[in-house]
Structure 1
Amino acid sequence: SASDITYIPMARGFLYLVAVIDWHSRFVLSWRLSNTMESPFCGDALTDSLSYGTPEIFNTDQGSTFTSEDFTDILKDCGTAISMDGKGRWMDNVFVERLWRSLKYEEVYLKAYDSVADARAGIAAWIEFYNYERPHQSLGYRTPWEAFCSKPESTADARFGVDGLKIKQNAIEVYNLDMIPYSIPEQEQEVINT
């Protein structure tokens, strides 16, 4: 996974937007708007993203919000390796930067949000479209959601049986209609009620 913060211009002033994306699928796992750069809004977005599963590696820039103890402790507590871009190397987090470009040119710059509520509604609608309706050439013309839910050889529907549990490639894959599918390595398997 990866995360970054960007400015969202308003009719007067601006807001900060943080997003957490799945690196492989470009799926936006979570996002938050704030009028300050305090770390809690980033930590909240990170915590929400973990409901989709724990990433092996989490990449950010070296901004103070992402290097704060509050933020890094969340990652350390779940055993995620922390990766940080080199200073001034925006290409190290290119997928999030591309998300920002698309969001701004397709939504934000076309609007002059008068309120936080307007900004939140506009951004929410755009991210919903981006995640579930917008195919990406780099994903084989699948949406981020389709890429997130599938492995190269199958789709989410084909991978999960009626009971929602199927053994595949030394992992138990669990499907819960309220959550995204995820895998649990054999050594970490435990009973999960869905």
Structure 2
Amino acid sequence: MIFFRIAFAKLEKSCLNCQTLIQKDNGLSVRRQCELLGINRSSVYYKPAVPDEACRLLKDELMKRIDYWHTKCPYFGSRKILDKLRKEGYGIGRKKVRRLMCEMGITAIYPKINLSKRNFKEAVVPYLLRNYKVNFPNQVWSIDITYIPMRRGHMYLTAIIDWYSRKIVGHHLSDTLDTREILYAVRESVANHGIPSILNSDQGSQFTSDDYKKLLQEYGIRQSMDGKSRWADNIIIERWFRSLKTEAIYPNEYTSPRELRQLINGYVRDYNTIRSHKSLDYKVPNEVYYGAFANIA
């Protein structure tokens, strides 16, 4: 199947290139020109389908609602999200919901079958933090990506959190899920806060890529990954994403990436400097993070 798709794509590209050679007013009929070029006449009249604006807007709207329900009830799978969407008046099927969830990189966070079976894929590395005690900043960081809805369209936010202090040590907003955006976030975090001992992530394609692994090796960072379907392994950064969306993203509407970026920057700044945590004896993340280094000095 993959072979036929590749062959079709090459043929389509070739036909589109040949179309530029066809001229309707050069003395030869279109049929004769196609015969001389050895191409099918139907390809000359082919016009690529332009995505319908209404379909694009509907897709954005559906992704926003899926993200809303996933954030509100992260244990909802595609069936329950579909039920909520249908009750809201959307006439769609489960396959479309599953496809959009896959595109957004979200899954229901609940224990699934075969948790004891090891994933032997070469790209996956072990989870290093089970029963692991964190005693100081930069000992363990977590990194993850989340979908951020906008009034028109969407963005993706990469964030990195320090386990010990709950400080957001880095974040980066982009319009793609490309691995380069992840690498940029890691480099910026290291440049601003130093090199962590362990960096934990899920098993997403960006984190199993050779470029990501190579970057961590260059820094001497030990890579850790959540177990398969073990959503709780990276719960610290997941909780932060949920707080961001429920407190800042959903109550507001943002018309541009610049506006959204300013909001997230402000939220991260206030979170690190103002927001106290019960688990930190009601101290703020910056106080715990920098205070630990002051005590060492």
TM-score of the superposition, structure 1-length normalised?
A: 0.77
Equivalent-residue separation in structure 2 for 1:142 and 1:44 (angstroms):
30
Among 133, 138, 141, the alignment partner of 2:274 is: 133
Between the aligned partners of 1:87 and 1:122, the Cα distance in structure 2 is 33
Q: What residue in structure 2 maps to residue 17 of structure 1?
A: 157
Letter in 2 for 1:150: G
Q: Offset at 1:90?
A: 1.7
Q: For 1:39-188, list aligned pairs within 5 A.
A: 39-51=179-191, 52-151=193-292, 156=294, 159=295, 173=297
Q: What is the DSSP-based 3-state SS (H/G/I as helix, E as strand, rest coil) of the residue aligned with 2:214?
A: helix
Q: Deviations over 1:61-81 (max 9, x none)?
A: 010111111111111111111
One-letter amino acid of the counterpart of residue 18, structure 1: T
Identify the match of residue 171 of structure 2 among 31, 49, 60: 31
AA aligned opposite 2:274: E
* Comparing 85-94 and 24-33, the one that deviates more: 85-94
Select the structure that is richer in helix. Answer: 2
Q: How many residues align?
A: 156
Q: Distance in 2 between matches of 1:75 and 1:139?
A: 29
* Counterpart position of 1:186: none
Distance 2:183 2:154 in 1: 20
The AA in structure 2 aligned to 1:21 is I
Deviation of the 1:150 alpha carbon: 2.1
> Aligned partners of 1:60 and 1:99: how far apart in 2?
14
The Cα shift of 1:88 comes to 2.2
1:43-64: per-residue Cα shift (whole Å, max 9, x none)?
0110111121211111000101
CA distance in 2, matches of 1:48, 1:72: 16
Where does structure 1 lack aligned partners over 5 or more consecutive residues? 160-167, 174-194
- Where structure 2 has 5 or more consecutive residues not aligned to the other structure, the ranges are 1-140
Matched letter for residue 148 of structure 1: Y
* Alpha-carbon distance in 2 for matches of 1:35, 1:134: 28
Shift of 1:36: 0.6
Give CA-to-partner distance per residue, 1:96-134, whole Å, 9 cap, x none: 001001100110011111110111011111110001111
Distance in 1 between residues matched to 2:230 and 2:174, nearest whole Å:
25
* Whole-angstrom CA distance in 1 between matches of 2:174 and 2:282: 33
Give the 4+ runs in structure 1 shifted more than 2 A.
Answer: none
Matched letter for residue 168 of structure 2: V
RMSD between superposed Cα atoms in Å: 1.3
CA distance in 2, matches of 1:42, 1:147: 26
Following the alignment from structure 1 to structure 2, what is the Cα–Cα distance between the partners of residues 113 and 26? Answer: 27
The structure with the greater share of residues assigned to strand is 1
Q: Deviations over 1:128-168 (max 9, x none)?
A: 000111111111111111111123xxx83xx4xxxxxxxx5
Deviations 1:162-183 (A, max 9, x none): xxxxxx5xxxx5xxxxxxxxxx
